[in-house]
Structure 1
Amino acid sequence: MAPYVLDDTRKGQHNKEKARREENKRIDKNLEKERRIYLRTKRLLVLGADESGKRTIVNQMRYLHVKCTQEEKTHYMLISKQKFFETRCQQDGIFYHIFNVRGQRKESMRKWLQYFSDVTAIIFVVDSSSYDMVSREDNETNRLHESLNLFSTIWNYRWLLDIPVFLFLNKQDLLAEKVLAGKSKIEDYFPEFAHYTTHQKSEPGEDLRVTKAKHFIVEEFLKITTASGGERICLFHFTCAVDTESILRGLRRV
């Protein structure tokens, strides 16, 4: 009987070894699949001051991928007790993970920015029409100044120094309305605008006053990027969050 017992033992060991090899192959296959998906994934962190239009832009991104599977999850960062939303979608073989953090204030951002140090790109949204408005947090801070300070914090944050930034100069429709109405002048809030000139050409049908205003605002942000030197990428795009085509043109550059 002993030989038979020995054969059964060897057979059992052989089956276990075969099962182990098959399990390793399955794990390796899944890891390779996840690696390929990771390489085809664009992880986009959407940042910007409150009421800049971040949420609307994320919703537009979802709309642009409406034919694809979409998923939105709510997460909490335990250390900073910060709430953020993750939207996942896919189009043309590219996976998108879009992160939008609720309540972005300069004072609190340093606690949670490091959680997103592996994103593919940052989309920073600016309310271009906010030059004459104040923050609802303290009813005192100029909103555009707040946005500039926030952008400076993000641009110079050590965990994000290698990540390209895409500036979405949002609410261009509201900016044009204010400029053309002439009731609220940019130079009253940014005195340097009175002496500002631009060599940029106007868009078809665009008033020169609007062209001057929007390029002044974007150059205020670009001053921050050039002050730090280096070769880091920062591209800008003029958007209107409710205009799907303007968002699509911006996303094509990301």
Structure 2
Amino acid sequence: MFDVGGQRDERRKWIQCFNDVTAIIFVAASSSYNMVIREDNSTNRLRESLDLFRSIWTNRYHLCDSVPQQTGLQAGRLFPRWTRVSVPDVGEDPKVTRAKFFIRDEFLRISTASTDGKHYCYPHFTCAIDTENIRRVFNDCRDIIQRMHLRQYELL
């Protein structure tokens, strides 16, 4: 397992880590929707994440990979003026829900634009303290490996 980060100037170094991988876990911070990357102070961070995801998804060397894609979402960052005490029984603010699904759909648009049935995208919402999310990601990784083996033996 490699954590390659997302810095532009390091991409040439870590792109080699993706040779012969079964899955790529791509994490995008939706809370940085209104921030710019540090390399040029003008490119939107979320747009940069989408562009990087697209380049990884469509890379000819990775066409058999699958990508469990996570979007880290913090409601306070999405809507700085929006404040609410987090109570599990109370539903999420509709604005936050719409923003989450808009961002998720942007990633899914990329992943379905070139769907060939050889690789899959499994989107998840998470935050730094969501321990259950890791279980879902590992289950998705298991599904990816099972699909790969079933395809290899022509059972799928």
TM range (shorter): 0.7 to 0.9
C-alpha deviation, 1:246, in angstroms: 2.6
Among 116, 130, 151, which residue is 2:18 paired with?
A: 116
Q: Distance in 2 between matches of 1:153 and 1:167?
A: 14
Give secondary structure in 1 for the equivalent of 2:71. Answer: strand
| RMSD after superposition | 2.3
Aligned residues: 134
Among 206, 213, 216, which residue is 2:92 paired with?
A: 206
> Counterparts in 2 of 1:86-165, with a 5 A limit?
98-102=1-5, 104-105=7-8, 109=11, 112-165=14-67
Q: Distance in 2 between matches of 1:108 and 1:178?
A: 27
> Counterparts in 2 of 1:26-45, with a 5 A limit?
none
Deviations 1:62-85 (A, max 9, x none): xxxxxxxxxxxxxxxxxxxxxxxx
- Gapped regions of structure 2 (runs ≥ 5): 83-88, 142-156
Q: Distance in 2 between matches of 1:146 and 1:103?
A: 9
Asked whether the equivalents of residues 33 and 78 of structure 2 are also in contact (C-alpha less than 8 Å), the reply is no
Residue aligning to 1:35:
none
Task: Return closer, same or farther for 1:100/1:114 CA change in 2, 3 Å cut-off.
Answer: same
Deviations 1:160-185 (A, max 9, x none): 11001110111x2x2x11344447xx
C-alpha deviation, 1:111, in angstroms: 5.7
Q: Distance in 2 between matches of 1:103 and 1:234?
A: 19
1:177 aligns with 2:76: yes
Q: Distance in 1 between matches of 2:6 and 2:132?
A: 27
- Gapped regions of structure 1 (runs ≥ 5): 1-97, 184-202
Aligned structure 1 segments of 4 or more residues deviating by more than 6 angstroms: none
Q: Answer 1 or 2: which has greater strand percent.
A: 1
Q: Distance in 2 between matches of 1:247 and 1:206?
A: 22
Asked whether the equivalents of residues 240 and 247 of structure 1 are also in contact (C-alpha less than 8 Å), the reply is no
Corresponding letter in the other structure for 1:214: K
Among 92, 96, 112, which residue is 1:226 paired with?
A: 112
Higher relative contact order (CA 8 A, sep 6+): 2
Greater CA radius of gyration, 1 or 2? 1
Percent identical pairs in the alignment equals: 52
Residue aligning to 2:103:
217
Residue aligning to 2:125:
238
TM-score (norm 2): 0.75
1:167 aligns with 2:69: yes
